[in-house]
């Protein structure tokens, strides 16, 4: 199956969010500033990609 550009962008965005969250000790406001987006936007994307701290640490 060929990965589309849209799929690749989603993967890159999710990886960037995860990286920023880990670097900022999961403080959403700090991670959002690091990424250059608003707190509201990072909250939306965390929900969109179903990112949970517990899932990553296991």
H-helix segments, 1-58? 5-23, 28-35, 39-48, 53-57
Q: What's the pLDDT score for residue 54?
A: 79
Residue 58: is its pLDDT beyond 80?
no
User: Is the pTM of the predicted complex or chain greater than 0.75?
Assistant: yes
Residue 44: is its pLDDT beyond 90?
yes
Q: What's the pLDDT score for residue 50?
A: 95
CATH number at residue 27: 1.10.10.60
Q: What's the pLDDT score for residue 57?
A: 62
Q: What is the pLDDT of residues 5-42, one digit of tens each?
A: 999 999 999 999 999 999 999 999 999 999 999 999 99
Cα(3)–Cα(37) distance, integer angstroms: 26
The number of C-alpha atoms within 13 Å of 56 and in the hemisphere containing its C-beta is 15
Cα(17)–Cα(23) distance, integer angstroms: 10
Domain with 9, as residue range(s), is 5-57
Total domains, the chain: 1
């Amino acid at each position: 199956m060929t990965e589309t550009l849209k799929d690749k962008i989603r993967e890159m965005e999710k990886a960037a969010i995860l990286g920023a969250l880990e670097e900022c000790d999961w403080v959403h406001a700090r991670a959002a500033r690091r990424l250059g987006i608003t707190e509201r936007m990072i909250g939306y994307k965390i929900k969109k990609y179903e990112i949970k701290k517990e899932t990553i640490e296991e």
